[in-house]
Chain A
Amino acid sequence: MRKKPEPMQVIKERRDGALLRLVEAIPYINFMGITFQRRGDELTATMNYTDMLIGNPALPAIHGGATAAFLETAAIIELAWADIWAKMEMERLSGAEIAALPLPKLPKTIDFTTDYLSIGHPRDVYARARINRSGRRYASVHVEAWQDNRSKLVAQATGHFLMPSKNG
């Protein structure tokens, strides 16, 4: 007999719980005021605006370094999340089983290139990352960031990452 599907709320709580656990483990994400929203397996990162993100008070504009840091964070979380998602969904782990797992080792940035396309206005910034290649050792990720208009990018970036080895 087919197993009855889990109630939606249980699935959502498990997935959101796993995401929050990952994000909250990293102090810098909290320092920068970065949060993540999830729809299915798709993540959108938000850098919630605060005055300390400003680099040029005269314009005013968000610091390019903060934008780059935001994009790099979105890329790293995307990679770590893809790994957690695979474990969670393929191995059918329960919320409690996921919470008991050690936090995944994070990928390490090899290089990261940020392309600044327009001024970051003093408002929230959003980003989505796309994993273009993910091998056993290396991954290549592209990230796009925007503010008011999804098709008018503030910045885009490409980075290469060293993946954590699977056997510790």
Chain B
Amino acid sequence: MTSPSDIAQQFATFLPHCKALNMRMDMLEPSQAIMSMPYDKRLIGDPETGVIHGGAVSALMDTCGGASVFMHPENAGASVTLDLRIDYMRPAKPGERIYAESYCFHATRTVAFVRVTAWAGDKKDEMVATATGAFSFKHKTKGRA
């Protein structure tokens, strides 16, 4: 049988946009996910500094958020992003791999809420960005509202 984590693993490799950004699934636990993508010159948003465009980071955080929703123990279907707010703390150091870690901290019958943090390289305590998001959700046991 295909487990949720088998399916979530495919987020990074099968979804065309994730593949284009070379995303990788690094960790999957109930309601949690860590994903990353390598530094890539094609993704530079500021030619003066070589820093990756915020949009590429938001694609990683959105995907990671979706993966953590998918890994929620009560998840019974596919989710779409309803809203995502990203705060940018500092530029991701050029050349460093970018990581995102998401936690789906609450799910109702219809909505799941996530918190995501992003960092570069091994500097997990130096946040590049944080995000909060809401995803559509299908609850296994609570049924439809």
A-side residues, CB < 8 A to B, are: 25-28, 30-32, 51-58, 61-66, 68-70, 72-73, 76, 103, 105-106, 108-116, 119
Cβ-defined contact, A108 with B88, below 8 A: yes
**Given the interface contacts A114-B83, A116-B80, does A57 sit within 8 Å of B53 by beta carbon?**
no
Cβ-defined contact, B16 with A57, below 8 A: yes
B-side residues, CB < 8 A to A, are: 14-20, 41-48, 52-56, 58-63, 66, 78, 80-88, 91
Cβ-defined contact, A26 with B53, below 8 A: yes
**Given the interface contacts A27-B41, A55-B17, does A106 sit within 8 Å of B63 by beta carbon?**
no
**Given the interface contacts A26-B44, A27-B43, A27-B44, does A55 sit within 8 Å of B18 by beta carbon?**
yes
Q: List 16 A-B contacts (CB under 8 A).
A: A26-B46, A26-B47, A30-B42, A32-B55, A52-B17, A55-B17, A64-B62, A64-B66, A66-B55, A68-B55, A68-B86, A69-B53, A70-B55, A73-B55, A115-B82, A116-B84
Most A Cβ at <10 Å: residue of B15, B42, B47, B55: B55
Given contacts A25-B47, A69-B59, list 7 more A-B pairs with CB under 8 A.
A26-B46, A55-B63, A63-B15, A65-B59, A65-B63, A108-B88, A119-B80
Which A residues lie within 8 Å of B91 (CB)? 108
Cβ-defined contact, A103 with B47, below 8 A: yes
For the complex of A and B, the 8 pairs showing the least CB-CB separation, nearest first, are A69-B55, A65-B59, A63-B17, A28-B53, A65-B62, A52-B20, A64-B81, A113-B85
Question: Among B17, B43, B58, which residue has its beta carbon within 8 angstroms of that of A54?
Answer: B17
Instruction: Kindly state the separation between the CA atoms of A127 and B59 in the bound complex, as whole angstroms.
Output: 18
Question: Among B14, B62, B84, which residue has its beta carbon within 8 angstroms of that of A113?
Answer: B84
Which A residues lie within 8 Å of B54 (CB)? 69, 72, 109, 112
Instruction: Kindly state the separation between the CA atoms of A66 and B61 in the bound complex, as whole angstroms.
Output: 11
CB-nearest residue of chain A to B87: A111
Which B residues lie within 8 Å of A28 (CB)? 42-45, 52-53, 55-56
For residue B43, give the distance in angstroms from its CB to the closest CB of chain A.
5
Which A residues lie within 8 Å of B18 (CB)? 55, 63
For residue B57, give the distance in angstroms from its CB to the closest CB of chain A.
9
Instruction: Kindly state the separation between the CA atoms of A65 and B20 in the bound complex, as whole angstroms.
Output: 12
Instruction: Kindly state the separation between the CA atoms of A120 and B125 in the bound complex, as whole angstroms.
Output: 35
**Given the interface contacts A56-B78, A108-B88, A112-B54, does A65 sit within 8 Å of B60 by beta carbon?**
yes
For residue A160, give the distance in angstroms from its CB to the closest CB of chain B.
9
Cβ-defined contact, A115 with B83, below 8 A: yes
